[in-house]
Amino acid sequence: MGGYSAVMDMPGADQLGYTSSRKTTSYIVLRKKERALAYACAAEFRHSLKVACRPSCGSAVLEDDAALLEQRFRELSDRWQRETAHMSSPLQRMMHQSYQTILGLSAVNTERKRDVIRLMLRDLNRNRRDWFLALSYLTGENPVDPKDSGKTDKIIESWLRWGQAQGLLER
């Protein structure tokens, strides 16, 4: 997508060529480099986000959609892995902007938080990325047996079992 422009509660957006699967009450539209700001604003105002494209100029309207959350999560987690793979410090890895943005995505509401946890668990299962501290932070849980501390395979197994027990992952 190309650039974005800023719009809030804009009547007649459909006349400008914006398309949406349903009527929305708020539009947050922004330039590509300001996308993270929109997510932060959306979290503060308790909005969720989705992109509905206007092909003629590459603009987009953001509203609620689980598919966009999954896409955004994937983009951020891939970037996080790519840009922190060389780091040995867990603290440095957790302070990375993409990691922090992912945590911020969960702040919208309880349902969104659950969706982000589900995405982390799926990613943990598929890609074995280290979401352990984020999962503990978001869930308030630590299903890992202390004797398994430092054993990545055991930690992953513990979190995946926990996710299944919570109904966040299929068995």
Q: Which residues of 120-157 are buried (b: 16+ CB within 10 A; e: fewer)?
A: bbbbbeeeebbbbebbeebbeeebbeeeeeeeeeebbe
Question: Region 149-153: what's the mean pLDDT?
Answer: 93
Q: Which amino acid is at 51?
A: V
Express each pLDDT in 20-70 by its tens digit.
Answer: 444 343 444 444 445 555 555 555 444 444 444 333 333 333 444 678 899
Q: Which residues of 70-82 are buried (b: 16+ CB within 10 A; e: fewer)?
A: eebbeebbeebbe
* pLDDT at residue 36, rounded to an integer: 52
Higher pLDDT, 163 or 43: 163
Express each pLDDT in 91-149 by its tens digit.
Answer: 899 999 999 999 998 887 888 999 999 999 999 999 999 999 999 999 999 999 999 99
